[in-house]
Amino acid sequence: MTVQEFFQKLETVDFLYSMSDAPGAFDRGRKQVAEIKEEAAELGGLYLRMFYDYREYMSSIVTGERLKKPEITDYVKE
């Protein structure tokens, strides 16, 4: 999987699943996050950094910290 493909996949993950009171949405989101985290761990280095950066960004939306949204150009220089 390319860095760009992984990044696009990250953008589709429901990192805010814990905010849902719908059991189905909660379970799906938790599964999505676990799967992409495992995938990042298997791919290593840059992929793990992308995962943690994006997860931290999404968490910042809830906490009000409002970190800068990661962009593909943060990881790949064209």
Question: For the residues 46-64, what does the mean pLDDT come to?
Answer: 94
Q: What are the tens digits of pLDDT across the range 12-53?
A: 999 888 888 888 888 999 999 999 999 999 999 999 999 999
CA distance 27 to 35: 12
Q: Report the pLDDT value the prediction gives residue 23, as an integer from 0 to 100.
A: 83
Q: Which bin fits 44, alpha (ψ -120 to 50), beta or left (φ > 0)?
A: left
Instruction: Give the distance, in angstroms, between the CA of residue 33 and the centroid of all CA atoms in the same chain.
Output: 7
Q: 51 and 40 in contact (C-beta within 8 Å)?
A: yes
Q: Report the pLDDT value the prediction gives residue 6, as an integer from 0 to 100.
A: 97
DSSP 13: S
Residue 55 has pLDDT above 90, yes or no: yes
* Reported confidence tier of residue 78, pLDDT bands at 50, 70, 90: low
